Amino acid sequence: MNAENKSSEGGQGRGRRRRRCGRNRCRDASRPGWQPEIDVGGQLRRLRNERSLSLRALAESSGLNFNTLSLIENGKTSPSVSTLQQIAAALQIPIAAFFQPELEMRNVVFQQAGRRPSAVFQNGALEDLGEGLTLHGGQLMLLSLHPHSQGCPEPIIHTGQEFAFCLEGKLAYNVDGQEYLMTPGDSLLFEAHLPHRWGNPGKEISRSLLILCPSDEHDHPAQTHFPQDQLIVNNLSAPDT
């Protein structure tokens, strides 16, 4: 193989895997659903200025070095997740705020796999599953549905929020009349006062992560979704009353 062919193939190989880095941003442009990079340093500066904090004041409250914060804001270094957690705690904000320009007030957040707001750090990556809608406490459950099965025949409502993450098969949600078909990696988060119900339209068993987060301590959404008289076997712990 001559040098020209080697050069050509090397160039093609590099073209198949492009990474775009700089100013605290690094995203793999070859990933499905690739989105523009997020300026973590710029976000930090904006959030700090909104609170009228100097860099030195933030350094003191976060326990981080002044120079470290300056380098992050100016895009000279990429912060680790633990560093962002320290800064977020000092600013009293969710860590997602660093890679989300504006937190929108939304009632429903449907996300397909590979298309979430995300940030890549030195030691890994972080994906925002809420996009401005936050959870407050909750009950974590693994939901399995038989093929072509439905949940409650009529839409239900309860307080707080509800979150679902499809792990296997298909999960269909109807929220306030809007249909959402979820496949592995997709997620759905919504205000639970919106009428909703779920089902498995697929030919295989569906398994999903489910988090029910009532805002009223006397509300038990699991009992609403799974009425006692419909349970064949019940080994779940009874909620405190």
Q: In CATH terms, are 40-100 and 139-230 the same topology?
A: no
End-to-end CA gap in the chain = 77
Regarding the domain delimited by 139-230, which CATH topology (the fold level of the hierarchy) does it fall under? Jelly Rolls (2.60.120)
Q: Read off φ and ψ for residue 67, nearest 5 degrees.
A: -65, -35
Nearest CA to 43 out of 57, 64, 27, 25 is that of 25
Mean per-residue pLDDT pooled into runs of 10, the chain (241 residues) = 44 41 41 53 87 91 93 89 91 81 66 76 65 69 87 84 94 94 95 91 91 76 64 48 44
Token pair, residue 196, equals 């909703």
Pick the CATH number of 40-100 from 1.10.1790.20, 3.90.960.10, 3.20.20.70, 1.10.260.40: 1.10.260.40
Question: What are the domain boundaries of the chain?
Answer: 40-100, 139-230
Q: Is 109 exposed, middle or buried (0-12, 13-18, 19+ CB in 10 A)?
A: buried
Q: 83, 63 in Cβ contact below 8 A?
A: no
Helix, coil or strand: residue 60:
helix
The model's pTM:
0.52
d(CA 198, CA 200): 7
**In the prediction, which pLDDT does 93 show?**
86
Q: Read off φ and ψ for residue 41, nearest 5 degrees.
A: -65, -45
**In the prediction, which pLDDT does 95 show?**
83
